[in-house]
Amino acid sequence: MDKFVYFNHFAFEVKRLNHPILLDFPERFETERLLVRAPQWSDGELVNEAIRESAEELRKWLPFARNIPSLEESESFVRKARLNFYGEDRHGAAPV
């Protein structure tokens, strides 16, 4: 039996499936004020810029924010996040 799960005002159809890879989950959804989406290739530049802009505030509360990542490190992080979003491991294969 299919049913719906509601997250804020978004409805996601949930089906009883034998394996998580078969679940359908939207790559993006948005409201007037918010966009939630899977990480995209080349988002590293945006992430790095956001970290740099907020570094002083972040350092007050988050010890790991003492070191600002390089652009290459930010892009690497984003690419790994994209693969994780799709459930792929570091070798590019979907987990079984």
Q: Is the pLDDT of residue 22 over 90?
A: no
Long-range CB pairs of 6-10 (<8 Å, 24+ gap) are none
Q: How far is CA 37 from the centre of its chain?
A: 7
Global confidence as pTM = 0.62
Q: What is the pLDDT of residues 26-62, one digit of tens each?
A: 888 899 999 998 899 999 999 999 999 999 998 888 8
Given a cut of 60, is residue 92 above it in pLDDT?
A: no
More confident residue, 92 or 96: 92
